[in-house]
Structure formats: structure tokens, C-alpha cells
Amino acid sequence: MFAERYRAMSSRDARFDGQFITGVHSTGIYCRPSCPAMTPKPSNVSFYLTAAAAHEAGLRACKRCLPDAVPGSPDWNIRDDLAARAMRLIGDGTVEREGVPGLAHRLGYTARHLTRVLVAEVGASPLALARAHRAQTARVLLTGTDLSITDVAFAAGFGSVRQFNDTITAVYERTPSALRAGARVADRAGTPGDDAAMPGSAIRLLLPARAPFDGPGLLGFLRQRAVAGVERCTTDGYERTLRLPHGSATLWVTLTGTSAAPALACEARLDSLADLAPLVSRVRRLFDLDADAQAIDTALADDPALAGSVRTTAGMRVPGSLDPEETLFRALLGQQVSVASARTALGRLTSALGDRIAGDPAGETAAASGAPEHPRPEQADSTAPTLLFPTAARIAADGREMLRGPAARIDTIVRVAEALATGELVLDVGESRADLTARLTALRGIGPWTAGYVAMRVLGSPDILLTSDLALRQGAERLGLPARAADLAAHGSRWAPWRSYAGMHLWRSAAAATPQKPEGTAGPRAASGNGAAPLR
């Protein structure tokens, strides 16, 4: 393993940025693998999985390559063990909100056992990992906003300004003021930074993706499923409202960067800047920015039936989820109906039960920042998102009056809403796939398709092939693959551990066929509906 990583570092292969970190003990710094600095001797090098582990070894971040300004590790989605589940929750800001005891409780272990596992697996304790996460969030705020140092400290999750100053100085070997000043100089010199400033609670960020990146395909998926009032899409952008732990937000994302270094330009207006870290984590998951696309494409192209699709659409991604509960309701309302019908039903439900956000975020952002760097179409038009998707509690209380369709489906949706509202059912990124699937299928009316679809999108599970999905089987047949579910499952075993991505290729293939049809079979437990029908 050391020899492989050393070769990757020596070749300055950007594909490995974020997958591991190079610690150089002779200089006391850690770098991304593609850092252009002189290649150190092997005897002076150690490799780490996380920045926190490098911090614990007494190393500081390289000022030249900014090793935390890269796509994250895909391991935390590929793996489904305790360490990976903990890393997903830490990235979502759970330690800042609930502390290490709260993190351990969510995972079903004691804090002591969790600490022991994380130190063994990733080289750092939950506190150290959260500290590194706070430092990265603080750097984004320092270099991308005009917030005061004090506001940055508390927005990033630090308990005091002194703790903030000590951490930033230890990690970056610069004071917060010097880190901000250096970023301003770099911006004036024309060097791309991670973000650009917007005043107040309106923030612009640049989120890097791992190349290749099929951004247009993702936008096509979101566009086809956009719920009126909550979302809208253009050819290169996606706008929506969403709930976060401390309040609501309005998000606008556009594709940017180059084919070699793709990225998302993200503008957001937040009720609370304490929600910046979970917002970034969730956007990265929605657009699957951390996937090792080259490895996935190479593996899938080994099957001649998929090779053409992989060549045509390099960097296929599996869309994630900004809100697990919303994703579950979307899947339930999409069972056995077309995508268009599901979108209409979701729009009607949101119009009746969704909360309206305060003010006009699009107009406020434009006024605050001047002419936007990434202009939005028709900012003042009536299609701008102004509603939040209904809460589970509201659907439980009033959904039965608003929902249309088979009584069994309505019963399932209301029953699920009640379970979510009371805490009987909990959905978050800290679940294992097996536990999430078991909890969902234990509810009457939820079958394997719905559970698999939710796991694929909420957890980012890379190895789920929904063979009961009619559109997926139609796409398989178009590519010369078996159309029967059992036969397709047998053939698809060769695509492991990337069957979710293979499924996206099959859905893309089906998109060129005839107009969408309802999917699945009748019956309250079939749940093999059209929640993931063709992209176009």
C-alpha cells in the first residue's frame, strides 16, 4: 500500500486527491498527492486517511496545495462499517450539534468504543476529526466571506475565539487574519480560490469534484423530478429551498470548472451560518462529488455491454439526497406512477402543506452581492422556489386530506410520516444499509425497491441494482443485457461494487426509448415504482 501511494504521489496524480494525505516529516507539513512541491524521500513520508490524523502526528497543512480544498474520500460511501458511518455523520456536523456522546448514541455504541474504532481505522478520535472539520469550515468562511473573526469562530462550531485562534494557527501555521489576507492576495493575483465573498448570510463557495464528472446528467435527473415551489432547474443550474439543523436555506448551484478539474459554483443564503458545514456536506452528497469516477468507469467498461455507455457518458454519478425524509416521501409517491405524475402529486402536496420561506431570497442575494458571478435566469419570476417541502409531522396530520391515489398507498405514506414524526423511524447518513433496509421494509407498504432506492440515494450506497424496476430492465434490454430480473441480477454481479452506477447507465439507456410508463406491480408491498425512472 505504501509503494502504491508513493507512486501516485510521485506522479502528482490528482485522481488521488482526498483519498489519502501525504505527511512529510522533514518539513512538518501534509499535502494532497498532487502537490507540485519536490517529491520527498520515502523515509520522510507517512500516509494518512484524514487531515485529522496528520494533525495528530504534529503536521500542518501545506500553504501551497491546501490539502483540505479537494474532493473528499469515496471510502465513507463505499464502506458501510462503523468508522464509515461515523465519518458521514461527522461530515454532517453531528459532533458540533450533539457532541461525541450524541454521535456515539446515534451509532449505537459507547463513546469509548467509537473512539477506539476511529483511532484504529482512520488515525484520529471523534474530537480530532471534528476539530479538523471545524478548521476546514472556518477556512472557507475566512477566505469566502467578510464575517468578523468572532462570527467565523462560532459559525464554524468553535466554543471560543481562543480555541478558534489556537486551532487555525496549529493547522495552517497562520493566524485567522493572516489566512484571510493571504486569500485576498491570491484572489487579486488571479489564482482561483475556494470561494468568493458575499456579505451577511449569503455565501458563495466553489466545491471541487473528482473528474470525470457528468454534471449535465445529474442536472437532467434533478430537472425531471423538480417539484414546483421547492426546486427549479436550468440547463446548467439547480435552485431549491431546504431545511437544515438550525433553519432553512436557499441554494443555487451551477456547473463550472474544466473537464480536468470540474466543480460546482454554489451560492446559498442561510438562516444560520452554523448550517454551512452540513449544507456543504449535503450538496457534495447530492452531486456525488467524491466518487472515484475513473475507477468506476474502468470497472464497468470491462463489460462489453456497458463499454459504449461508459465511453459516451464518462463520470456517471448516482444522485444523493439533501433531505432523507423528503427522499423517502418522493419514493413512496412515485410508486407505480410516471415521473410526471409523481411530480404533480408532490407539487400539490407541497403547495398545500409546505412552509413558505421568508422574503425573496433570490432578490435579496442579488441586491447584496451586485451582479451575480453566476447569473440566475429570471430571478424575479414566479417559478423561483419559495416553499419548503412539508415536514413529516405536517404530512402525518393533514396528508390524508391532500393525497390522491390508491388507499393502500395513502395509508403507507401517512403511516411512514407518523413514524418519522414520533421518532419511531429515523433516517440519516449514519445508518448502515442493512439496518436502513430492515427498518423500512418492516413497515407495511414498503418493499425492496423503495428501501433500495432510499439506501442508494440517502447513504450513497454504490452497489445496489434495482432489478425490479421496469425502466432499468428496459434499458438493460436496449444494451443487449438480460431483461428478466433474476437473469439481470446474475449478470450484474460482475459489476460489484459499482452496481448503483451500472443502474444509472441502464436508466440512461432507457431514456431514449418510448415515453415513460408506470412501473412495478400492484400490491401494497410491491413498492417497485417509478422513483428512479429514465433521466430524460
Residues noted as catalytic: 31, 469
Alpha-carbon Rg for the chain, nearest whole angstrom, is: 23
Q: Is the dihedral of CA 212, 215, 221, 225 positive or negative?
A: positive
| Those residues with Cβ within 8 angstroms of residue 131's Cβ, 6 or more apart along the chain or in another chain | 52, 55, 167
Label residues 232-243 b or e (16+ Cβ within 10 Å = b): bbeeebbbbbbb
Q: For residue 216, what are the contacts with CB-CB under 8 A and spacing of at least 6? A: 235, 236, 255
342, three cell numbers? 409523481
Which of 19, 279, 32 minimizes the C-alpha distance to 144?
Answer: 279
Give the whole-angstrom CA distance, residue 175 versus residue 186.
Answer: 17
Residue type, 514: T
**C-beta separation of 467 from 488 below 8 A:** yes
The 3-class SS string of 74-135 reads: CHHHHCCCHHHHHHHHHHCCHHHHHHHHHHHHHHCCCHHHHHHHHHHHHCCCHHHHHHHHHH
- Residue 50's nearest CA partner among 161, 155, 125 is 125
Residue 314's CB is within 10 A of a number of other CB atoms, namely 17
List, as one string, the DSSP characters of 213-280: --HHHHHHHHHHTPPTTTEEE-SSEEEEEEEETTEEEEEEEEEEE-SSSEEEEEEEEES-GGGHHHHH
Backbone angles phi, psi at 21, to 5 degrees: -125, 140
- Which one, of 338, 379, 336, 332, lies nearest residue 360 by Cα? 379
Nearest-10 crossing angle of helices 499-510, 470-478: 80
Number of helices (H), then strands (E), in the chain: 24, 9
Task: Please state whether beta strands 29-31 and 21-24 pair in parallel, antiparallel, or not at all (unpaired).
Answer: antiparallel
The angle, 0 to 180 degrees and rounded to 10, between the axes of the packed helices 407-422 and 324-333 is 170
Report the SS3 class of residue 18. Answer: coil
In this structure, what are the phi and psi dihedrals at residue 158, rounded to the nearest 5 degrees? -75, 150
3-state secondary structure (DSSP) of residue 379: coil
